[in-house]
Amino acid sequence: MRVPRQALLDGLRAFGVAARQLSFKAAADALFVTPSAISHRIRDLERHLGQRVFIRKTRAVELTDAGRALLEEVEPLLNGLDAAVDRAAKRARRRVLRVAAPPFVVTDLLIPSLRSFYGLQPRIELEITTSAAREAGHAAQVDVAILAATAPPAGQVATRLFSPRFVAATSRPVALVARELGPRVFEKQRRIIYRHRAELWTRWFATTGFPLARAATTLHVDTLPAAIAAAEQGLGIALVPTLVCERRLRPGRLVRIADTEIESGDTYFLVHRPEDRGRPEVRAFLSWALAELRR
């Protein structure tokens, strides 16, 4: 006899509790049903298995050999199911929000500003992951994403955040040398190149009129945070976004070597799925991010 999946699950749940308690009544109390319901569920399970799992006595039950073998296999699965339900319930109470953003946005914008978010939303638990700056959308496991694009991503709810401008900057000691050398600075100082936006240097040289010295050495890195860190350490001169590096430029951890700022050609968008617009945690993060990150 084939038993529907829900009936089979009910039967296994009833069996597991009754087997631990060796009592249909105790199982009924634990599952908030009648002893008769427990008996029916286990009888259906036995029909499905084609063998008895309990020996019924007047006031008690005992496991058969088949019942003991089934309990050994089923109990870990039932425990895992209980744990999964508990975790889901805890996530629902915590209101977890999963956010993805490019590395430099995470390190220079989100993390320094999160204290104000938690002050407003102490019950929302954030899970922040880094992602490539340029992506068509965000992954299924992400609730909100910050993406760089030339136009809003199709099929998503996208709100413009900012269009970064880049400036050449380095550590204070290297900046003093650059000030003395002027346009000849790259004869002596290394260019730090963010590999995914290497063309920005070509545009910077064209805009400033600085000559590109053939003898200049370069340092290639694959993330903006790495380029910024290398410039702070005096390893050379990097093109850094003025907006996200504002905290570093103001106290002098980074110093401009020229006033020229160039457009990156990208716009950063705050993106979420249309079906998530009604979730309270999504609305809370969007409201905070639009106020904080635009500022």
Question: DSSP assignment of 135-187, as one string?
Answer: -SS--TT-SEEEEEESSPPTTSEEEEEE--EEEEEE-HHHHHHHHHHGGGGGG
The per-residue pLDDT for 174 is: 93
CB atoms within 10 A of CB 197: 20
Segments of the chain scoring below 70 in pLDDT: 1-3, 89-94, 132-140, 214-216, 244-245, 295
Closest by CA to 143, choosing from 124, 160, 162, 119, is: 124
Amino acid at site 191: R
Quick check: helix, strand or coil at residue 18? helix
The per-residue pLDDT for 137 is: 56
Quick check: helix, strand or coil at residue 11? helix
The per-residue pLDDT for 82 is: 82
Q: How far apart (Å, rounded) are the C-alpha atoms in residues 227 and 221? A: 6
Reported residue count of the chain is 295
- What pLDDT digit, counting tens, does each position of 236-283 carry? 999 999 876 677 777 778 999 998 999 988 889 999 999 988 889 999
Q: How far apart (Å, rounded) are the C-alpha atoms in residues 102 and 145? A: 9
Q: How far apart (Å, rounded) are the C-alpha atoms in residues 231 and 191? A: 9
The per-residue pLDDT for 136 is: 55
The per-residue pLDDT for 108 is: 85
